Amino acid sequence: MRTSLLALAALALCGASAQAQLIVGNDQTGTATIYSIDVGTGVATALYSSSTVEAKPWGMAYDSATNTLYWNNGNNLYSSPLANPLVPTLLGPMTFNAVNVNFVALSFSNGKLYGTRNIATEAVYEIDPTTRVATQVWLHPTAFDFGGLEHDATNGKLYGLTDAAPAPSVRGLYEIDPVAQTTTFISGYPGTETDIDGLAVHNGRAYYVSDGPNTTQASFYVYDVASGTQIGTLPSPFTGSGTFSAATFAPPGTPPPTTYCTAGTSTNGCVPSISATGTPSVAASSGFTLDVASVEGQKQGLFFYGLSGQAIAPWGAGSSFICVKSPTQRMGGLVSGGTANACDGAYSQDWLAFVAANPTALGAPYSAGQVVNAQAWYRDPPASKTTNLSNALEFTLAP
């Protein structure tokens, strides 16, 4: 089915926000990519690409309270703050009865992951995201093949997308009540589709995510849950065919931190990279950390930030750029650790803790919605200006 401008316009008119994100991936061979798709425009943005398994999700879930994206490949569970780019962390294998187990779909609700399996034992499982230990919630009929799973965060209901169902039921979207141990049919698959593994649901809208490639499965499908009718399509960005596809929905809210600008290359060939962990909430006094990796070892440095937006201006005659408009605020001095003349140094500092301890710092007191730009500076005596700079990070303060 071809995606039409009318269909995309209809989705936008239904109230989709430019910040409403459908996060998708598949396990295609070669290089795979996890994408964010703006559900109002259909525009896909690559968040992470690799030929290795951490870029090839089977299931996916989002925790909005901590801005954490979870996904798995087989039994291995990964996480990253939802940002561009993603920074995958391997959390380890998920287990059931002390044995590593695979899951083909994930969801998140009330501090727990939920998963389904398509081989013994087929069931809905609750998974502790810290210990990764799974327990069975509902041992459903084996005729179901739930390859997509998602809680609608607006009503707490759990939904599953299945390629098969016990007679006389048919493949399609079901509401799952694991407490009552029942399913309620909502809608079948569109057209001649028989294999759709990814599912995201938010605010009464369901997104069926096929596994590609977009040359043969050009579209993802959008359904109204209340009526069970298809209301539009979104273009698939997948370039290869996967066995599994994964999806989850990140509701509109504070935009995730985003990197920009270009890091300078040090005299020993190091290219530092900035990132962040946690949530920059104005209600918190800690919990949002600026990080820089691949800095020259044993070098003094610091973070600085500004509130006036992005910049790009040469930093002396070297390869660095100043990426934060003045005025700027310097944070405390740091030492990179690692090995001298190697690229194994790093800096880390909690931005919220710094501003809490420095109430006269630039911009204080802060309010939700304030945009902050940050960058790292470090000593590099043989370089132009005897110093160098990382790339930069832009983040928006949350309530």
All residues at 6 or more sequence positions from 307 whose CB lies less than 8 Å from its CB, including other chains: 362, 363, 370, 371, 372, 373
- The candidate with the shortest Cα–Cα distance to 57, out of 221, 197, 162, is 197
H runs (alpha helix) in 96-228: none
Q: Tell me, what DSSP letter sits at residue 55?
A: G
Look at residues 306, 310, 355, 312 and name the one whose alpha carbon lies nearest to residue 326: 306
Q: Provide the token pair at 106.
A: 């994930």
Whole-number Å distance between alpha carbons of 40 and 12: 5
Lookup: tokens for 287: 């919990």
The per-residue pLDDT for 282 is 87
Under DSSP, the state recorded for 77 is E
User: Does residue 54 come out as left (phi exceeding 0), alpha (psi in the -120 to 50 range) or beta?
Assistant: alpha
Q: Which distant-in-sequence residues (6+ apart) come within 8 Å of 353 by Cβ? A: 285, 286
Residues in Cβ contact with 306 at an 8 Å cutoff, skipping those fewer than 6 apart: 324, 325, 326, 327, 328, 329, 362, 372, 373, 374
pLDDT of 18 reads: 38
Residues with pLDDT less than 50, the chain: 1-18
- Give me the torsion for CA of 290, 293, 296, 300, rounded to 10°: 10
CA atoms of 31 and 110, how far apart (whole Å): 34
CATH hierarchy code of domain 5-250: 2.120.10.30
For residues 161 and 148, the answer to whether their CB atoms sit within 8 Å is yes
3-class DSSP state of 352: helix
Per residue in 283-311, pLDDT (tens digit) is: 899 999 999 999 999 999 999 999 999 99
pLDDT of residue 11: 37
Cα–Cα distances in angstroms (integers) from residue 336 to residues 297, 298, 322, 339, 390, in the given order:
6, 5, 20, 9, 13
For residue 221, give both structure tokens.
């499908």
Helix (H) or strand (E) holding 345: strand 345-350
pLDDT value at residue 19: 54
Residue matched to tokens 């990140």? 250
Nearest Cα neighbor of 150 from 92, 197, 218, 100 is 197
The DSSP secondary-structure symbol of 384 reads: G
Q: What's the pLDDT score for residue 281?
A: 86
Angle at 370 between CA 366 and CA 253, to 5 degrees: 115
DSSP per-residue string spanning 104-119: SEEEEETTEEEEE-SS
Burial class (CB in 10 A: 0-12, 13-18, 19+), 191: exposed
Torsion over CA: 224, 227, 228, 229 (sign):
negative
Neighbours of 264 (CB within 10 A): 23
Topology of domain 258-396, CATH: Immunoglobulin-like (2.60.40)
Beta partners for residue 178, in sequence order: none
Task: Supply the pTM of this predicted model.
Answer: 0.66
Task: Kindly report each contact of residues 176-184 with a partner whose C-beta sits within 8 Å and lies 24 or more positions away, as own/partner.
Answer: 176/124, 176/138, 176/140, 176/146, 178/124, 178/137, 178/138, 181/138, 181/140, 183/140, 183/144
- State the Cα–Cα distance between residues 351 and 85, nearest whole angstrom: 20
Distance from the Cα of residue 386 to its chain's centroid: 37
> Taking the domains of the chain in order of start, what are their residue ranges?
5-250, 258-396
